[in-house]
Structures are given as C-alpha cells and as structure tokens.
Amino acid sequence: MSARRPVDQWPRHDRAVIRDWTVVRCTCESTKYFNADPSQAFEQPTMRASSAALVWLAAAAEPFNAPNIHYNTDHGIVRHVLDPASQNTPLHFNQRHLRPPPPRIPPEFDIFIGISAYRDGIRCGFTLFTAFSRATHPDRVHVGVVDQVLPTDPTCMDEYCKLATVQWGECKHKDQITIDARDAGQSQGPTIARHAQQHLIRDEEFCLQLDAHSQVLPDWDTKLVAEWGRTANEMAVLTTYPPGYHMIGPNLTYPHRSASHLCDHTARSGPDIVPFATGIVYVEYSERPQLSAFFGAGLSFSKCHAERRVPVDNQTPWLFFGEESLRSYALWSNGYDFYSPSRHGSVVFHNWTSDPKKARFADTAQDDEVADRRRRQEEEKSRNRVRAVLKLPFHGDVDTTNFHVFYRGTVRSVDAFLDFHGVSNANVSLDQERCHQLHWVPYAQPDDVEKLLPGWYMHQLMDNTSAASNEVDDTSHAIDVLKDQVKQSLTDAFKGQLDAIARSGHNITSRIEMLALEDADQKHVWLDQLQEKLRIVQSLEIQLEKFNDRTTLESFSEIMPALVVLVALALVALANRWRRALHSCRGPTKDNTTGM
C-alpha cells in the first residue's frame, strides 16, 4: 500500500451508517477507535454509550466476522469494517431513497469473452480451453481474440486446438472463436488492441474481458452472472485484479474467506501524475460484491451495453499506466459502477508469474533509437490526453481527437469522479484511499440511463409523472367521448321536453277554447296546469345553468343559446295562445252580463 499521512491529518468523511468504523492498531499495542476522525476518539457526543460499547466490542473481537479490509501503514494496522448491505444507499440524506436500476437477467444468456494477446499464444490457448471446458453452458460462450503475433510465434487458436483435440478428439467450439490476427511489430499498446477487441462483440448479453494468461473455475459462467445479479445494479461492472493461480484450491475450488479488491492508488509526487491502482487488497469474510472506485483491466464482467456504449479510447498509443483510470472515468461518467467479486464470485485467476523473457508491446521500438524516441513522445501525448480528460495539469502537446466520441458521458461529472476516486487535481496531500465502505453516487443527469432501460426512472416522481401522463391521456379521451354522449343525450332530452311542452300548450289552448262553450269556471284548472308546465320549464332552465357550470361539460355551453331561444319561443307562443283563449273566454261572459 502507498504511504499515508499521519493519522491525525486524516480528513473527516461523511458516513452513511454508524457501523462503518475504522480501527488503528498501533505498534505499542494500544488501540484507538474512531469514526472517520481519529482525533476525536471516544469523543462522539451524539453516540449513546451502549452503541459505543457495542462497536468497541465488535472492533476488539478477533477474528472479525464482518467484511473488513486491513493493511499496514507507518502508524500501525488500519482496518475498515465494511457494510455492503448499505452500499447502494446514497450518503446524502435527501437522496437515500434513490437506488441504481435493478439488474435484468434473461432466462437464457450468452457471454462474449474479449482477450487482447501480445505474443502470448500458449497461455492464451489455455485460457480459451478453460473457458470452454469449465463452462456450464459452453455452447453459449463466444470468444474474440486480438492476437498480436510475429510469424514465428504460436497463435492462440493453434494452442487452443491442441488442448481441445486432446480433450475431445477435435477442435471443439472452434467456430465460436473469432480471431483478429495482427502483426505484433505494429502494436501500439493495450488500448489500441482493446478498442479492436470491442468490434468483435456481436449481440451477446454479457461481456467478460480477460488477460490472455488467465484461467477460470468450473461453472464460471453461471457463477459470474449470479454474482453480477447480487450487485442489485443493472449498470454494475464486476472488476478487480484476479487472484493468482496459487489461490486455486483442491479440485479447482476457491476455499478462501477473502476476495480481491481494489481501493487505493500509488502515492503521487504531484497533481500531474496520472493515478493508478497499487494492487490487490483482500476483503476478509467477503460474502457480497463490494462497491469499488477502481476498474481493473484484468477482469471486467458486465452487460455488453457497457462495451457498446463506452468504447475504449484508441487515440492513446502506448498507454499502460493510466489506462485503467481513464477507463474508470469513461464508464463511471456513463452511469456504470464497479464492484469487486466476493469469494463466491471469485472464479477468474491470473498468472502473475514473473517471466523475464515475456514479450512486451514496448519491445517493438527498443531496437530502433528513433522509433523508441517517437514511442516515448507518443506515450507522453497519451498521458496528456488522460490528464486533459481528468482535468489534471499537464505540459506539452495533447491530442484531443474524438474527445466527443470517447468522453461524452454526462451522467456524472469529472469532479464527482475525482472525489469518488480519491484523487485531487490540485494538491496530492488531499488524495485519499477508498478502502472504507463506499456508497452509490446517484446520477446527476439520469436521462441516458433511463433511455437505455425503458420503464426505469431514478426519481420516482418521474415514474409517477409518466404514468399519470398516460392516465391523463386516457381520461381525456374518455371525457371527450362522455361529453359527446351527454351532449347528444341532453339535446335529445330537451328537444323531447320542448316538443312535449308545445304539445301540452296546444292541448291547453284547445281546452281553453272549449271552456268558452262548456264552462268558463273550469278555466282556473287549466290555468293551474299551464303554470305547472311553466314551472317545469323554469326547472329545466336551472338544470341547464348547472350543467353549464360543470367543467367536464364545458363544450355543452356551445348549445345553450339555441336551447334558451327555443324555450323562449315556446313560452311566447304559449303565452299568446293563452291570452287569446282567455280573451275568448271572457268576451261572452261580459255580453251575457250586460244582456241581463
């Protein structure tokens, strides 16, 4: 691990849960326990004594039964107790309800394995052999190899076929392997090869990137998918530096309680130094995938949409140290998150054996002084490209070609990445390791992820708004239909009422005229009936006014004037007839009185 600042200079961290405590065991055997800020050991006024005692007892217990990381420093052993159950819960209180999108695992899936090999045919062939021979579903495995070799080198395919023929009597699964053969003399480093490797992906669901000198355990395919699902994050990338071959147990098992994890970068002498991971740190009692801030190129397992959406930058020739920091930012800014596999998902292993004769891509220019000088210049330009992307200070030329293609992620910002990654672009004394419990960082701009995953919204309000919008559209259509139906029904009803009134008025007039001949005293009865009809008309007018006030029947107001005119005309006609009838009734009476 890198050298760290004195304990009393460590910055305070905002903790999401009180159980994320740090322990420093000094060489003098005295022990201090503190929550992020060691200068305040046993000075947590907001903590109840019972809680403090429980934490003290948990920290003092040996061995730890909780996931933890411990390592040596100049000030003793530092131990972080982890809580992966809370890692997908954001730190900030007002964001604690947010979660990453849940994983989507189809009933059947295929896996693409991408390998970039540099003059490593023998070990590459063994890697492929273990991938097919130890898979649960070998027919669903597809491999793409960028094989950089010289004419005299053994090729990856040839070496695989040798092993396959011994095992199965033929080069089984050969048609599931795609080789992009390249001249090793023209190699320009791993990023160029990995960019070409991505072009070999077809329509596979999951993508696994391995080094050419790796091997896997039995049932690696189903175990990796299960482990990926346990992250509870569709945007998860399982990544770390795989353990060495010596960690493989009897019968091709992994018997250890710990798992490989990346959580720290090397000490930097200045802010312009490109950060890179120090190496493997083991999580003890590892039961769940552990959230990390680091991408490791030796093992990367995710949905293939990560490879399709975030291409490797092929404008960085000769880049080695800095490749993973750049990839970390590119993926993280597009919404992806890193998790190191737990002991249950530790199924990939790396051949870390030191071989002084091993060919390296930088060897292609060492025999030519001019070519080697040019290589170093191009390598420095590539580092400047990394610095420009990560907002680190730099001097000299920088190639910004296709920045918009490789670094278009807007889901999270560069500044947010540096903070999460523990790197300062101004003062290296502010650099921090990331071995404590990390927490998922919500998306600043979730639109791209929401488009990728239809039906998922980071904010529940967005989900509710969309659903409500659909309901409003459906309701609006239903209201329009209802309006038309009610309008037609009311129009028919009022027409019927008006016709009935007209008929009633005609009948009343006829009867009134008959009164003049029969009995004038009966006119009051018919007048009462007429008044009753008039009251009915008034009641209808009141109902019309009520309908006019209802917002769901606004369009009915358009026919109101016509209905009022019709009612008024009917009333005028009835009134005229009534007057004529009444006059005819009163006339004979007066004449008879005068005659007497």
Q: Which of 338, 346, 349, 339 is nearest to 259 (CA)?
A: 346
pLDDT digits (tens, 9 = 90+) for 315-370: 999 999 999 999 999 999 999 999 999 999 999 999 998 765 666 555 655 567 88
Model confidence at 73, pLDDT cuts 50, 70, 90, reads confident
Give the integer Cα–Cα distance in Å for 412 and 444: 6
Instruction: Average the pLDDT over 249-275 and give the result.
Output: 96
Model confidence at 7, pLDDT cuts 50, 70, 90, reads very low
Q: Which residues of 30-69 are buried (b: 16+ CB within 10 A; e: fewer)?
A: eeebbbebbeeeeebeeeeeeeeeebeebbeeeebeebbb
User: What does the pLDDT read at residue 208?
Assistant: 99
User: What does the pLDDT read at residue 72?
Assistant: 81
User: What does the pLDDT read at residue 369?
Assistant: 83
275-279 long-range contacts (CB < 8 A, ≥24 apart) are: 275/325, 275/421, 275/423, 275/431, 276/321, 276/322, 276/324, 276/325, 277/241, 277/324, 278/1, 278/2, 279/241
Residue type for 174, please?
K
Instruction: Average the pLDDT over 194-208 and give the result.
Output: 98
Neighbouring residues of 50: CB distance < 8 A, sequence distance ≥ 6: none
Model confidence at 76, pLDDT cuts 50, 70, 90, reads confident
User: What does the pLDDT read at residue 24?
Assistant: 37
Whether the predicted pLDDT of 258 surpasses 60: yes
Instruction: Average the pLDDT over 186-211 and give the result.
Output: 98
Residue 146, both tokens = 């960028």
User: What does the pLDDT read at residue 75?
Assistant: 78
Average pLDDT, the chain: 80
pLDDT digits (tens, 9 = 90+) for 538-578: 666 666 565 555 544 444 455 565 566 566 666 766 667 66
User: What does the pLDDT read at residue 340?
Assistant: 99
pLDDT digits (tens, 9 = 90+) for 13-40: 333 332 333 333 333 323 332 333 333 3
pLDDT digits (tens, 9 = 90+) for 437-460: 999 999 999 999 999 999 999 997
Tell me the DSSP string of 199-257.
TT--S-SEEEEE-SSEEE-TTHHHHHHHHHHTT--TTEEEE-PPPBGGG-BTTTB---S
Share of the chain above pLDDT 90, in %: 60
Instruction: Average the pLDDT over 365-393 and give the result.
Output: 89
pLDDT digits (tens, 9 = 90+) for 118-172: 999 999 999 999 999 999 999 999 999 999 999 999 999 999 999 999 999 999 9
User: What does the pLDDT read at residue 71?
Assistant: 81
User: What does the pLDDT read at residue 358?
Assistant: 65
User: What does the pLDDT read at residue 182?
Assistant: 98
Tell me the DSSP string of 173-199.
TGGGEEEEEEEGGG---HHHHHHHHHT
Give the integer Cα–Cα distance in Å for 451 and 444: 15
Angular region, 87: left φ>0, alpha ψ -120 to 50, beta rest: alpha
More confident call, 58 vs 14 = 58
Whether the predicted pLDDT of 60 surpasses 60: no
**What is 93-353+376-452's CATH number, 3.50.50.60, 3.90.550.10, 3.40.228.10, 2.60.15.10?**
3.90.550.10
Model confidence at 491, pLDDT cuts 50, 70, 90, reads low
Instruction: Average the pLDDT over 213-234 and give the result.
Output: 99
Q: Where are the domains of the chain?
A: 93-353+376-452
Secondary structure (H, E, C), 505-571: HHHHHHHHHHHHHCCHHHHHHHHHHHHHHHHHHHHHHHHHHHHHHCHHHHHHHHCHHHHHHHHHHHH
User: What does the pLDDT read at residue 465?
Assistant: 46
User: What does the pLDDT read at residue 47?
Assistant: 41
Instruction: Average the pLDDT over 274-281 and give the result.
Output: 93
Q: Which of 120, 248, 114 is nearest to 184 (CA)?
A: 120
DSSP 169: S
Neighbouring residues of 528: CB distance < 8 A, sequence distance ≥ 6: none
Least confident of 6-15, 61-70, 72-81: 6-15
How far from chain centre, in Å, is Cα 266?
30
CA distances from 247 to 253, 339, 353, 409 (A): 9, 20, 13, 37
Q: Are 445 and 413 in contact (CB under 8 A)?
A: no
User: What does the pLDDT read at residue 316?
Assistant: 96
